[in-house]
A and B are shown apart, each in its own frame.
Chain A
Amino acid sequence: MAAPWASLRLVAPMWNGRIRGIHRLGGAVAPEGNQKKKRTILQFLTNYFYDVEALRDYLLQREMYKVHEKNRFRDKEWIRPDKYGHFSQEFWNFCEVPVEAVDASDCDINYEGLDNLLRLKELQSLSLQRCSHVDDWCLSRLYPLADSLQELSLAGCPRVSERGLACLHHLQNLRRLDISDLPAVSNPGLTQILVEEMLPNCKVVGVDWAEGLKSGPEEQPQDTASPVPA
């Protein structure tokens, strides 16, 4: 595939005008007149020439990359592990930079492991979704992050119960708390109300407030006025 890519770099500027047309194919925006003409030519070419399909794929990749770039945390990019699970060596250049957001979803972090997270004094967002070893004891350790933590997500943690949620009241700067899908919480609706009372400045999401309410009476009340059939 090397040769077609090399030629595409030269070809791309020429097709610049047409690029937007290709993207609009999938979009909801109505194409203009001359672009409609160009699109049909391209479609014709796509059906008959393999190279044009490759071009289309390349342009789609570029579009995806742009979408990826937009996926930043407040103008800073996420540092993710590569497909082998390793982080790049450039990470070490960021030693002095304060960590603002940690996404530890699906991670096996436990009580002792939280030692590492608690040292991040400027942590603003922490996501512990679906961590199977995070329990009430771990939540009681989060208070050192009270000054900076604004967003916390505990969705799907199987060991977190309402008793652990009670010690989140130290986190007074919290603005967004996600407590959806916690199987160990005995009464999700009531817990949500109590947590909202506990953290008045925080938006608590995850539980539909109607959950836990019983559905209306199934049967109609008996009509006592009607005479008993003889």
Chain B
Amino acid sequence: MIRRVLPHGMGRGRLTRRPGTRRGGFSLDWDGKVSEIKKKIKSILPGRSCDLLQDTSHLPPEHSDVVIVGGGVLGLSVAYWLKKLESRRGAIRVLVVERDHTYSQASTGLSVGGICQQFSLPENIQLSLFSASFLRNINEYLAVVDAPPLDLQFNPSGYLLLASEKDAAAMESNVKVQRQEGAKVSLMSPDQLRNKFPWINTEGVALASYGMEDEGWFDPWCLLQGLRRKVQSLGVLFCQGEVTRFLSSSQRMLTTDDKAVVLKRIHEVHVKMDRSLEYQPVECAIVINAAGAWSSQIAALAGIGEGPPGTLQGTKLPVEPRKRDVYVWHCPQGPGLETPLVADTSGAYFRREGLGSNYLGGRSPTEQEEPDPANLEVDHDFFQDKVWPHLALRVPAFETLKVQSAWAGYYDYNTFDQNGVVGPHPLVVNMYFATGFSGHGLQQAPGVGRAVAEMVLKGRFQTINLSPFLFTRFYLGEKIQENNII
């Protein structure tokens, strides 16, 4: 008896295999493909302009799953972790859009490059601890075949924060939190301080906290280039262009209290090429705002903040550029090789640079003294009047110093509470933020990148819980103030 073998799956209620489909893949979008092919054939025929032979290599691709606006250390860190944590190789297509490939105004390259764990928020401490271990093992994380290993030039000399009488209690409680999270910080009295660092004048200092391990400074440019190299090898596309427009679709929905809420979803990003009117619409699923000092402009393009003030629609992204100057000086009798990055009670800070008695430092101006962020010109009078006197008071050897050079850079300053903004926007549902770190973005970039990638891929924070850093806190008014901002 010949058994009739039924064709697999036919009439059994299982997945039927239609001709032309592969098992486990998507069915080919025949209708869309056919219309595209028709368009191409029409353009080849005589009488039409031939679009096929135009060079589009400088343009970004037409489709990308994730578009990262901003190619600084935060943007590249998000790209890296997206590629590291994707479920299978090549699952996510990532495009990084950077306006200026020379990074002439980007905060990353102009940064002093410090990393420290002496924060008051546990999340900040955890981020810095993770970043320290990332930097320590950077050649395992960012290894590229046949490329030389990275030398970050890390100086493990630590941070020394000085506190006056009124800040001493806050510093003690901060150090307690830091020790609980696992940072190695020691508290020192003025006598111990004088013993260890004889060049310090402890007048006005009640307490000092000194980071013993995993703190110091490194070369941010090297980290940026290392990330760029690795991320390119993982298949992330780069584009030099400026984001000028978001096309989004809205959906009006009702909340449980029957209030109308408009949810927006960005589905296209217009990337304009440099010095030209040409632009490319990039279809995307997710947009990451890592534009640093210019994040609020990108947020405004997406319609964040357009609405009556006091509502969620009317809450703008409170990140603005703030200019900060860094001065380099030479002082032959200055503090020796063991000098940590010293942050004075007045807010002035300095550290050694190299072997040759050069130091660099600066001071954050008060709210009234804030310089105009329109350009990156250095204000030398600020050094004379507001920085040097404090330095000379704290380190008498600095009474004779000679300024060699200076530069200025931007902080992506969060005017709300000087802490970063991480995670999705509640209304523009596919825009994720990774910005606003107000001067400590570089040292937290690896941790933040991983957190944003987890949020995008898994929907929640898995390793470090950054929920206090979500956008909604601006609307709810929940400030998470970080006290130790240099």
Interface residues, chain A, with chain B CB atoms under 8 Å away: 111, 136-137, 139-141, 143, 162-167, 169-170, 186-187, 190-191, 194-195, 197-198
Bound state CA distance, A140 and B214, in angstroms?
Answer: 8
Asked if B355 and A140 make an inter-chain contact with CB atoms under 8 angstroms apart, the answer reads: no
Bound state CA distance, A166 and B355, in angstroms?
Answer: 10
- Counting CB contacts under 8 A, is B346 at the interface? no
Q: Which of the residues B153, B156, B336, B356 comes within 8 Å of A140, measured between beta carbons?
A: B156
Residues on the B chain within 8 Å of A195, using CB = 337
Residues on the A chain within 8 Å of B156, using CB = 136-137, 139-140, 163-164, 166-167
Q: Which of the residues B136, B154, B355 comes within 8 Å of A162, measured between beta carbons?
A: B355
Given contacts A137-B136, A166-B338, A195-B337, contact A190 B355 (CB under 8 A): yes
Classify chain B: how many residues form its interface, as a range: 10 to 19
Interface of A is mostly: helix
Asked if A162 and B337 make an inter-chain contact with CB atoms under 8 angstroms apart, the answer reads: yes
Q: Which of the residues B136, B155, B212 comes within 8 Å of A111, measured between beta carbons?
A: B136
Residues of B127-161 contacting chain A, CB below 8 A: 136, 153-158
Asked if B355 and A198 make an inter-chain contact with CB atoms under 8 angstroms apart, the answer reads: no
Q: How far is the CB of A163 from chain B (nearest CB, A)?
A: 4
Residues of B205-261 contacting chain A, CB below 8 A: 212-214, 216
Residues on the A chain within 8 Å of B355, using CB = 162, 186-187, 190-191, 194
Bound state CA distance, A221 and B337, in angstroms?
Answer: 38
Asked if B136 and A166 make an inter-chain contact with CB atoms under 8 angstroms apart, the answer reads: no
Q: For chains A and B in complex, what number of residue pairs have CB atoms within 8 angstroms?
A: 53
Q: How far is the CB of B476 from chain A (nearest CB, A)?
A: 41
Bound state CA distance, A38 and B55, in angstroms?
Answer: 100
Q: How far is the CB of A123 from chain B (nearest CB, A)?
A: 18
A-B contact pairs, 29 of them (CB 8 A): A111-B136, A136-B154, A136-B155, A137-B154, A137-B156, A139-B156, A140-B158, A140-B212, A140-B213, A140-B214, A140-B216, A141-B213, A162-B337, A163-B154, A163-B156, A163-B157, A164-B156, A165-B337, A166-B157, A169-B337, A169-B338, A186-B355, A187-B355, A190-B355, A194-B336, A194-B337, A197-B336, A197-B337, A198-B337
Bound state CA distance, A198 and B336, in angstroms?
Answer: 7
Give 18 A-B pairs besides A162-B337, A186-B355 with Cβ atoms closer than 8 angstroms.
A136-B155, A137-B136, A139-B156, A140-B158, A143-B212, A143-B213, A163-B154, A163-B155, A163-B216, A166-B155, A166-B156, A167-B157, A167-B158, A191-B355, A194-B337, A197-B336, A197-B337, A198-B338
Q: Which of the residues A163, A165, A169 comes within 8 Å of B153, measured between beta carbons?
A: A163
Residues on the A chain within 8 Å of B356, using CB = 190
Most chain A CB inside 10 Å of its own CB: which residue of B214, B336, B337: B337
Chain B 321-353: CB-based contact to A (< 8 A → 1; otherwise 0): 000000000000000111000000000000000
Q: How far is the CB of A124 from chain B (nearest CB, A)?
A: 21
Residues on the A chain within 8 Å of B216, using CB = 140, 163
Bound state CA distance, A198 and B338, in angstroms?
Answer: 7
Bound state CA distance, A141 and B212, in angstroms?
Answer: 8
Residues on the A chain within 8 Å of B212, using CB = 140, 143, 170
Bound state CA distance, A164 and B338, in angstroms?
Answer: 10
Q: Please name the residue on chain B nearest to A162 by beta carbon.
A: B355
Chain B 413-453: CB-based contact to A (< 8 A → 1; otherwise 0): 00000000000000000000000000000000000000000
Bound state CA distance, A111 and B154, in angstroms?
Answer: 15
Residues on the A chain within 8 Å of B158, using CB = 140, 167
Bound state CA distance, A149 and B154, in angstroms?
Answer: 25
Residues on the B chain within 8 Å of A143, using CB = 212-213
Q: How far is the CB of A113 from chain B (nearest CB, A)?
A: 14
Residues on the B chain within 8 Å of A187, using CB = 355
Q: How far is the CB of A208 from chain B (nearest CB, A)?
A: 18
